[in-house]
Amino acid sequence: MVKILPEEFKTFSNYVFAISGIYLDGSKTYLLETRLDGLLKELGCSSFSELYYKVQSDGTKRLQEKVIDAVTTGETLFFRDSAPFDLLQHKVLPDLIDKRSKRTVGTLPIPIRVWSAGCSTGQEIYSIAIIMRELLGDPTRFDVRLLGTDISDAALARASYGTFNSFEIERGLSKDKLVKYFVQHNGGWKIRDEVRAMASFKKLNLMEQFNGIGKFDIIFCRNVAIYFTEQERGRLFKKIEGALETDGYLFIGSTESLTGIAPQFEAQRYVRSVFYRLKG
């Protein structure tokens, strides 16, 4: 594996930050080496300086996309950290349905909008979809729109196909949900069409403005902002504030906190989980 020199790391980390908002400090040299090793070999580069030159010289931006795909591909699984999904099923969705039913008395279907920011290969958004299928019952009573966004084209393509190998399926998905919501496909599994149809996917760099995505009742932005600087995290959650309904719900990662970063949000606890609401 090619080793990255200190000056090369500085150049590449600045580049990655500029195109994705991901901040790589000096402890991430090995991460960058391992994540980009495949691209180095693919392009026949003997150094990171040579790779950087080729990426910068590529007018098609395809190599830039490959860098983004390599660096941003993260750990994900179905129903990751089960507490937020329990909270969604037993607290947030029932409360939201009650509020929306009162707001739209006599009017069907009841709109529900959910956004998974940094959706990766789709496990989170499909976990949300499964919970909604379990909870909502008659789908004609609700107009459900689920949006998954990510900066990686490769991740979004996989999420959109809704196909997963056996290893991915076994991580977090129970047998009963597998049988109920997936079908076997090319040696792996594919989400059933009626669940797949609940979600749409869009490329979005969270460093940029959220143009044209609308407002949401529930936003999941879990384990994404941990890669940003504190200043960029503040900017991100300011934009998320604008995308969240005033009575909406925000989920972040279990090890994350908005204290000192986004004072417009207040934490609320239910059983063993924390979610955030905009201050009234």
Is residue 1 a part of any domain in this protein? no
Residue 111 clears pLDDT 80, i.e. is over it: yes
pLDDT band at 102 (very low <50, low <70, confident <90, very high): confident
What pLDDT, in 10s, does the model give residues 163-194? 999 889 988 899 999 999 999 998 999 999 99
Is residue 198 a part of any domain in this protein? yes
Looking at the fold, whether 223 and 254 belong to one and the same domain comes out as yes
Return the pLDDT at 280: 78
Return the pLDDT at 3: 92
Strand partners, 183: 190
Q: For the chain, what is the radius of gyration of the CA atoms?
A: 20
DSSP string of 130-152, one letter each residue = HHHHHHH-SGGGEEEEEEEEES-
Looking at the fold, whether 132 and 236 belong to one and the same domain comes out as yes
Is residue 191 a part of any domain in this protein? yes
Looking at the fold, whether 157 and 258 belong to one and the same domain comes out as yes
Question: Which of 72, 95, 128 corresponds to the end of one domain?
Answer: 72
Cβ neighbours of residue 154 closer than 8 Å, sequence gap 6 or more: 65, 69, 73
**For residues 193 and 201, what is the distance between their CA atoms, to the nearest angstrom?**
15
Return the pLDDT at 103: 76
The reported pTM is 0.90
Question: Which of 45, 72, 99 corresponds to the end of one domain?
Answer: 72
Domain containing residue 63: 6-72
Looking at the fold, whether 100 and 155 belong to one and the same domain comes out as yes
What CATH number is given to the structural domain containing 198?
3.40.50.150
Looking at the fold, whether 163 and 200 belong to one and the same domain comes out as yes
Looking at the fold, whether 68 and 111 belong to one and the same domain comes out as no
Q: Which residue has the tokens 């900066």?
A: 151
Looking at the fold, whether 35 and 98 belong to one and the same domain comes out as no
Is residue 77 a part of any domain in this protein? no
Q: What is the DSSP letter of 247?
A: E
Looking at the fold, whether 161 and 226 belong to one and the same domain comes out as yes
Residue 235 clears pLDDT 70, i.e. is over it: yes
CA 233 vs. chain centroid, Å, equals: 15
Is residue 224 a part of any domain in this protein? yes
Is residue 134 a part of any domain in this protein? yes
Burial class (CB in 10 A: 0-12, 13-18, 19+), 33: middle
pLDDT band at 211 (very low <50, low <70, confident <90, very high): confident
Question: Which of 17, 46, 72 corresponds to the end of one domain?
Answer: 72
Return the pLDDT at 196: 96
Range name among 3-12, 96-105, 170-179 with the lowest pLDDT average: 96-105
Helix (H, G, I), strand (E, B) or coil at 31: helix
Looking at the fold, whether 172 and 58 belong to one and the same domain comes out as no
Return the pLDDT at 271: 80
Cβ neighbours of residue 39 closer than 8 Å, sequence gap 6 or more: 45, 51, 63, 66, 67, 70
**For residues 231 and 225, what is the distance between their CA atoms, to the nearest angstrom?**
11
Dihedral (Cα; 209, 17, 154, 34), 10-degree rounding = -160
Q: How many distinct structural domains can be found in the chain?
A: 2
Is residue 146 a part of any domain in this protein? yes
pLDDT band at 8 (very low <50, low <70, confident <90, very high): very high
What pLDDT, in 10s, does the model give residues 112-160? 999 999 999 999 999 999 999 999 876 678 899 999 999 999 999 999 9
In 3-state terms, the chain is what percent helix, strand and coil (to 5)? 50, 20, 30
Maximum separation of any 2 CA atoms in the chain, in Å: 67
Looking at the fold, whether 194 and 142 belong to one and the same domain comes out as yes
Helix (H, G, I), strand (E, B) or coil at 3: coil
Q: How many CB atoms lie within 10 A of CB 87?
A: 20
Looking at per-residue pLDDT, the higher value among 105 and 223 belongs to 223
- Report yes or no: 198 and 144 within 8 Å, Cβ to Cβ: yes
Looking at the fold, whether 65 and 101 belong to one and the same domain comes out as no
